[in-house]
Structure 1
Amino acid sequence: MRSRLATKIHHTLERVFPEKRLFLRSDTETRFIRLKPETQLVAWTGSTIVVAWTIVATAILLMDSIGAGNFRAQAQRDQLTYEQRLNALSEDRDSRAAEAIAAQERFNSALRQISIMQSELLATEEKRRELETGMEAVQATLRDAMKAREAARAEIAALSAETDDNGDATISGDAVGTVDLLANALAETAAERDMIAADAEFAIEHATEMELELRLLQERNDQIFRQLEEAMLVSVEPLDEMFRAAGMNPDSLIEQVRRGYSGTGGPLTPMQFSTRGGAPDPDASRANAILASMDRINLYRLAAEKSPFDIPVKSNFRFTSGFGPRWGRLHAGTDFAGPIGTPIYATADGVVTHASWSSGYGRLIKIRHDFGIETRYAHLNAMRVTVGQRVSRGERIGDMGNSGRSTGPHLHYEVRVGGKPVNPMTYIRAGQNVF
């Protein structure tokens, strides 16, 4: 049965692949190689498989090359967009800072003017009170003089009656002198009263003008306060959101930074105004609230410089691997691919704790930051820092390379909080909206 089936298959193959002979001739003899249908079938099948594999491999390589080019172009466009947005945010931040400084200068000038106006108003009020006291004294003197005049008139009338009774037509010299003295005193008192009344009227008018000017100045200060409060709100909210997006508590972070910078004095010291025993000045309360916001922004700036919100690669690059499981293990960082020698920058202020070869990491730099944060920069081609060196955010610390267990030139970047790895893109994305 098998031989009949084999014979049938053989005859079928002979129709497709007839038997062929390959002759090999030399000087003395001629030989031939017999190519059976089965042999030709095996050869044809092998050739077909090789050609098909070549076509598929070529297509895969072309698709990968095209895809890599698209990824590279997309990464370059994203990098350009990021740089443009970063520049726009920087310009907006600088303009906001300039507006805040100018508003603070206007605010300080307005406060000085208010202080001067208040002093002048108090002086005018005191002068008006003195004039009122003087007028009361003059009026009392005038009343006394009028009483004396009435008494003198009564005395003159009595003397006149006595003279008439005695038949004498002349008045005594003492009575005449008394009348003249009283008349002069009365004229001087009236003139002094008129002068004091004029001074009091002028003081009242001047006080009214001062009150109007002070009210206009207060309205202007209220407008300045509103502008400052809006600027502080616009500046503080993005910073709050940035730290919360990174999983950090802004209030506890501010307290930590404040403990590290516990000095007092300077332009952000709360203002103190004398209220002369009255209620607290609302302008002083608003000013102190603005100063507290400015102090919070300043502390945020210090905290942001010590937290890894920056990106370690600023030249053209492409993301090749993100944070998370890979091949059954945790990939504890983010990979940035680029040419060998691409500059690598510190993402926050800190101290270098490691700068040498480290097994699969290759050339590795570790930087310790505040708040229990550590950043790692692996597979470097060169290291430009040493252990114990303090670095600042944006300072160049090394060059991208292919050292250690690496399949191509790239930077393996890690962020660890309390020794545990976290996703670096959480910090980078949070900082993109502010820096």
Structure 2
Amino acid sequence: MADSEPVQSDLFGFSASSGSGERFRPLAERMRPRTLDDIMGQDHLVGRDAPLRRFLASGQFPSMIFWGPPGSGKTTLAGICASSLQFGFEKLSAIDSGVKEVRKALENAEKARRRGVRTMLFIDEIHRFNKAQQDTLLHAIEEGLVVLVGATTENPSFEVNAALLSRAQVYILNPLGDREIEAVINHALTSDTVLSALSVVLEDPDFLVRFSAGDARKALNALEAAIALVSECGQKSVVLTRKIFEQALQYRAPVYDKGGEVHYDTVSAFIKSMRGSDPDAALFWLARMIEGGEDPKFIARRMVIFASEDVGNADPYALTLAVSVFHAVELIGMPEARINLAQGVTYLAGAPKSNASYQAMNAALSESPSLRSFPVPMQLRNAPTKFMKNLGYGGGYRYPHDYPGHFVEESYFPEGVEPRIYYHPGDEGRERFIRERLAGLWQGRY
């Protein structure tokens, strides 16, 4: 007896006539959009003449990566596209899948191809795959075995390797706006087979909208939990107050919105506390960001910038430490990465401060457009070939290591440009030594 072919599912793997079993599915699943027209908040991708709609119309669907926050519709959109194209749908989660699972999915795709069916391989949280796991996909994409659709909440340029990015177009999904979340909630209350049988009154609908933070799934899960908390068998109406939501969710929303004004205000307070050499205040704002669900890698990146912008050469080790913190956060992950962040924050806040390098770069950039027409002096040019040396490239260059103190006074500016002083080292920390050394070398300039 021949081996049976694998059955590839689509995202909507149940019958519309599944009867009473439908009511036991989570509300977010029951309300999952079925067509592009049902998708909210992504008109730039699914609206008239938008890329995904045109791909479906042409039947030519390339590999791509959906980058967007939770609940923005990444998984749903992939399922709709696969269903519309009549592709097989292999779904993996990078959280609990590895090379073995990827290879099994590719084997299924090969069997489907022999039946004349193309396969979409959907990988949720693709940023969690390491380089080796991502590399297993390359050959299958190149030979057309699968159309890859990856979903990620993280910036693909940081988390997806370059080889995979070059084979997959990145499309950004936006968090849903307040009106769209309201529409999702109202649609559930009026159209869902279970909820439409109830009279549900939201006493504070804005609370649910704010709580969801642009995440439709989060809004629907919260609505379902609140109704389950207060509804009784045979009850025909419920009133949902803010207190009921807080009881159902065991949650008091922190005053922190990762994409809004409070987000930027909190980051600003965090940076200014470190700049002001107050490690305790910096830890206070760090804790608020962590509690509010801020991406720890975003925090670490801000610390790397701070190390150069605000500590600079007053303590050159600060940059090394900040970069190490970033790598530790990548390696360890939360919640333990909070310890790495705390170490970095306390060091940066306690370090001597200088913004001289930052100011110097800005000063140089401000003059660069007016001075860009001046050519590089011949003695400073690179001369990798004999022909270029014969043209005078590098001629007359004095090699500092051949002189006492490894220094020779030389003009390194273009001919006709008076030497500028962009960098003004201060008196703090290591920068005092740098200033004294430069003053001894360049008499009259420092």
The answer to whether the superposition gives a TM-score over 0.5 is no
Q: TM-score, normalised by structure 1?
A: 0.19
Q: Which of 1 and 2 has higher RCO (CA within 8 Å, sep 6+)?
A: 1
